[in-house]
Amino acid sequence: MKTILLIEDNNDVRENTAEILELANYKVIQAENGKIGVELAAAHLPNLIICDIMMPVLDGYGVIHLLSKNVKTANIPFIFLTAKSERNDFRKGMEMGADDYITKPFDDIELLKAVESRLKKAELLKNDYSRDEAGINTFLDEAKSIQELKNLSDSAKVKLYRKKELIYTEGNNPNYLYLLQKGKIKTFRAHEYGKELIISLLNEGEFFGYTTLLDETPYNESAEALEDSSVVLIPKDDFYSLLNNNHGVMKRFVKLLSNEIQDKEEQLLKMAYSSVKKRVAEALLKLQLQYKKNAKENVAISISREDLANIVGTATESLIRTLSDFKHENLIEVKGSNISIIDTLAFEAYIKKYL
Amino acid sequence: MKTILLIEDNNDVRENTAEILELANYKVIQAENGKIGVELAAAHLPNLIICDIMMPVLDGYGVIHLLSKNVKTANIPFIFLTAKSERNDFRKGMEMGADDYITKPFDDIELLKAVESRLKKAELLKNDYSRDEAGINTFLDEAKSIQELKNLSDSAKVKLYRKKELIYTEGNNPNYLYLLQKGKIKTFRAHEYGKELIISLLNEGEFFGYTTLLDETPYNESAEALEDSSVVLIPKDDFYSLLNNNHGVMKRFVKLLSNEIQDKEEQLLKMAYSSVKKRVAEALLKLQLQYKKNAKENVAISISREDLANIVGTATESLIRTLSDFKHENLIEVKGSNISIIDTLAFEAYIKKYL
DNA sequence: ATTAAAAACTGATAAAAGTCATTCGCAGCG
DNA sequence: CGCTGCGAATGACTTTTATCAGTTTTTAAT
């Protein structure tokens, strides 16, 4: 439920107006003068403020001036409500940063429409972080954000990459946000002497190449197609302008990135202290999950020994030996380059017990 | 330089208005009807749009309707410019999402003030990503963003932590954004059997604890004071509302986070394939840099062997042996728990050559 | 100043993982 | 059909790093 702060010295007008707003299902906080209004605004951070101009103690201009000096209240939509309908008053109010101006007497519809249009406009710019009203709401916001990102890809071009073809390489300057439409792609970083570490295996429908876009540096990873893939190239300027104009998308990215940081830290911890055997086992579980996501039922993990070693961060031979061990213990089944976990639960139990 | 799109069918009025705006140092794009206006808006993404209502081909209401349907143009400040001064027209315009309303005839000052106040208001909400005009500008924006974050800390409380005291632990729910005011703090993650990996060593003036705040999950790391420290606790709601209301701050965080991701990936690569000796050497160089930052001249690195081992991700004994090696090769000097690199350049050369 | 506790260091040894060389098995191809 | 080449697998060996146990040094506390 949206909260509206109503600042008006005339009791009748205030209570009347509050009633209208409450009927429209807003929560209304009332203030009988500007001073109290400013305090209540800072305390409650309402979604919108309606304020009379002529008031004792502190007038409407004073209120908007004070509110605009406080970071927390500066961006709350502000509507002036006044008996004066003279042009100069109107201009003064707008210049001070008001968002709308309603002259008394006004009818219900007029007031409600003004409130709605300002709330809607504010909504466009920022989806409130701390005050998501429910899980569903948040979910919808996110769905919307993703949808807008996907919309971007409508206007973008699609490019086909053959197996083993490079999409971008370390040192290049990023020009696109990439969306994997079909196929499989790895992004990796190179260490000395040809060793590489796979940073991520992309599934269909996933975006990639955004970290470098966001911090505006050249790539320090490369991306390569693991099979024939089609990729949507979204021009970076389109991405930037969406990010700028839509707070929801930005918010979503902040979450995504923080999440990624935590994943990497977790990986780092494991890379430091878990044995190769454990890391391999966990990588297999993760991969199985990822392959399952695409195909509903359990699918074999299809990946070269070398790539798997590069995910785990170990020598190819060490990885192969580990796989052999698992095979001999009847934990996995190997057919060519396809690996499948025989019994996920048993495998997890084994990890817990012995690794 | 800010760009303004002016949509007006009357040639005289349009050119006159454009002239005024150009004198005020705006770049003006002119459109003689609504249809052209919409196209130019999408193509140029101006910082502000001024639009007449009564026009042939497509009137002002049509223009604002179309623009509000396109994500890229929906949030551009929109000012109606019209001869009609009737109340109903005004309300209709505002309800459709206009931001201001100027009635003809208007004087220069009136126009310019309206433009300025809308640009200023828009600026507050979003600092444009793709269109930062110069490096300096970007820098100022960032400085401003950080300043606003710091401002938050004025109203926040300061807490003292004694050496070895925990600030938060894994599993706790985050309630604050932390700012290290004085002292030294480590954040770390625990692995089985008491092993831990230090994620970061905080310097004075650095923020911490924000990743979990941003993705709204419980902590999966702990923070502990390495020496007596004073920490500013900023309530999470204050942080959230700043983030919501200030696009610049959000932007800065996106950059910060992407940067951090890349750092972690780099670390991951090294953890996987670099020897303990190399990792220790690089950790020492990094630490020296960090200590130097605080104190201008070269300072010894003061850190326990155990913590250093936990940064590198190795057993304490292995770390100590490595330090002994470096000591015997006259690369570092050890006095108690203080370590100093004798000659940074020589040390770097040694790493390149032998490690 | 003395003493207890913690941290730093050393040695011996075991375990883990990397390296190099070789073989196996299979798909593709002339 | 055999040849070629590549990825997978294995063996033999080396190197790196961890672990355990014990000593020395430093730090902190009475």
CA distances to A270, B189, B280, B314 from B195, rounded to whole Å, are 11, 9, 17, 9
- The residue among A185, A200, A172, A187 whose CA lies nearest residue A230 is A185
Rounded to 10°, the helix B236-245/B135-154 angle is 150
CB contact under 8 A, B97 and A110: no
Cβ–Cβ contact A44 with B under 8 A = no
Place of tokens 């101009």: A53
Nucleotide nearest to A323 (CA to C1'): D9
Q: Which residues contact A214 (CB under 8 A, 6 or more apart)?
A: A253, A257, B254, B255, B257, B258
d(CA B156, CA B144): 19
Cβ–Cβ contact B260 with A under 8 A = yes
CB contact under 8 A, B126 and A125: yes
What pLDDT is attached to residue B137? 37
Q: What mean pLDDT do residues A287-305 have?
A: 83
What pLDDT is attached to residue B212? 94
Tell me which chain A residues have a C-beta less than 8 angstroms from the C-beta of B261: 211, 257, 260-261, 264
Residue-wise pLDDT tens digits, A15-68: 999 999 999 999 999 999 999 999 999 889 899 999 999 898 899 999 999 998
For residue B144, give both structure tokens.
């401003």
For residue A164, give both structure tokens.
């083993």
A230 min Cα distance to partner chain B (Å)? 26
What is the residue-level pLDDT of chain B in tens, covering all 355 positions?
889 999 999 999 999 999 999 999 999 999 999 999 999 998 898 999 999 998 988 999 999 999 988 767 888 899 999 886 677 788 899 999 999 999 888 889 999 999 999 998 887 765 444 334 333 334 445 556 666 666 766 667 899 999 999 999 999 999 999 999 899 999 999 998 889 999 999 988 889 999 999 988 999 999 999 999 999 998 888 888 788 777 778 888 898 999 999 999 999 999 999 999 999 999 999 999 888 876 667 788 999 999 999 999 999 999 999 999 999 999 999 987 889 999 999 999 999 988 8
B320 touches strand C (CB under 7 A): yes
Q: Is the pLDDT of residue A14 over 80?
A: yes
Report the distance from CA of residue B302 to the C1' of nucleotide D26 in Å, as an integer. Answer: 14
**Nearest residue of B to residue A117 by CA position?**
B95
Bases on strand D under 7 Å from any protein CB: 7-12, 16-21, 26-27
Q: What mean pLDDT do residues A144-163 have?
A: 76
d(CA A318, CA A231): 34
- The residue among A95, A85, A87, A9 whose CA lies nearest residue A52 is A9
Positive or negative, the CA dihedral A59, A65, A69, A72 is positive
What pLDDT is attached to residue A22? 95
First to last CA, chain A: 51
Tell me which chain A residues have a C-beta less than 8 angstroms from the C-beta of B126: 125, 244-245
Judge contact between A184 and A225, C-beta under 8 A: yes
Q: Which residues contact A87 (CB under 8 A, 6 or more apart)?
A: B103
Q: How far is CA A241 from the centre of its chain?
A: 15
- Other beta carbons less than 10 A from residue A243's beta carbon: 25
Residue B14, classified by CB atoms within 10 Å of its CB into exposed (0-12), middle (13-18) or buried (19+), is buried
Amino acid, res. A14 = R
Q: How far is CA B206 from the centre of its chain?
A: 14
Report the distance from CA of residue B334 to the C1' of nucleotide C1 in Å, as an integer. Answer: 27
Cβ–Cβ contact B147 with A under 8 A = no
- The residue among B306, B174, B7 whose CA lies nearest residue A258 is B174
CA distances to A121, A247, B80, B275 from B67, rounded to whole Å, are 13, 18, 14, 58
What pLDDT is attached to residue A125? 65
Cβ–Cβ contact A103 with B under 8 A = yes
Positive or negative, the CA dihedral B151, B292, B141, A144 is negative
Report the distance from CA of residue B335 to the C1' of nucleotide D18 in Å, as an integer. Answer: 26
B302 touches strand D (CB under 7 A): no
Q: What is the DSSP string of B53-90?
A: SS-SSS-HHHHHHHHHHSTTTTTS-EEEEES---HHHH
What pLDDT is attached to residue A121? 84
Q: Which residues contact A296 (CB under 8 A, 6 or more apart)?
A: none
Task: Name the strands in the sheet holding A27-31, side by side, starting at the edge strand that comes first in the sequence.
Answer: A27-31, A3-7, A48-52, A78-82, A100-103
Amino acid, res. A126 = K
Q: What mean pLDDT do residues A101-121 have?
A: 90
Place of tokens 């961006």: A75
d(CA A303, CA A291): 11
Residue A265, classified by CB atoms within 10 Å of its CB into exposed (0-12), middle (13-18) or buried (19+), is buried
Hey, which residues does A186 pair with through a beta bridge?
Answer: A201, A224
Q: A97: which DSSP letter?
A: T
A-interface mutation test, from B88, B265, B318, most A Cβ less than 10 A away: B265
Tell me which chain B residues have a C-beta less than 8 angstroms from the C-beta of A130: 236-237, 240-241, 244
- The residue among B41, B40, B119, B116 whose CA lies nearest residue B73 is B41
What pLDDT is attached to residue A145? 64
What pLDDT is attached to residue B139? 42
Q: Are strands A27-31 and A48-52 parallel, antiparallel or unpaired?
A: unpaired
Q: What is the DSSP string of A205-263?
A: T-EESHHHHHHT---SSEEEESSSEEEEEEEHHHHHHHHHH-HHHHHHHHHHHHHHHHH
Judge contact between A100 and A49, C-beta under 8 A: no
- Assign A250 a pLDDT band (cuts: 50, 70, 90): confident
Cβ–Cβ contact A214 with B under 8 A = yes
* Secondary element (H or E) of residue A201: strand A196-202
Q: What mean pLDDT do residues A263-287 have?
A: 96
Residue-wise pLDDT tens digits, A175-230: 999 999 989 999 999 998 889 999 999 988 889 999 999 988 999 999 999 988 99
Q: A174: which DSSP letter?
A: P
Nearest CB neighbour to A72, from listed B241, B269, B314: B241
Judge contact between A48 and A79, C-beta under 8 A: yes
Residue-wise pLDDT tens digits, A333-348: 998 788 999 999 999 9
- The residue among B53, B61, B63 whose CA lies nearest residue B8 is B53
What pLDDT is attached to residue A132? 41
Q: How far is CA A193 from the centre of its chain?
A: 37
Residue A102, classified by CB atoms within 10 Å of its CB into exposed (0-12), middle (13-18) or buried (19+), is buried
Q: Is the pLDDT of residue A354 over 90?
A: no
For residue B102, give both structure tokens.
């100027």
d(CA B34, CA B52): 9
What pLDDT is attached to residue A146? 67
Tell me which chain B residues have a C-beta less than 8 angstroms from the C-beta of A120: 97
- The residue among B12, B11, B100, B96 whose CA lies nearest residue B49 is B100
CB contact under 8 A, A255 and B71: no
Nearest CB neighbour to A260, from listed B148, B261, B314: B261
Q: Are strands A78-82 and A100-103 parallel, antiparallel or unpaired?
A: parallel
Q: Are strands A207-208 and A176-182 parallel, antiparallel or unpaired?
A: antiparallel
Judge contact between A28 and A22, C-beta under 8 A: yes
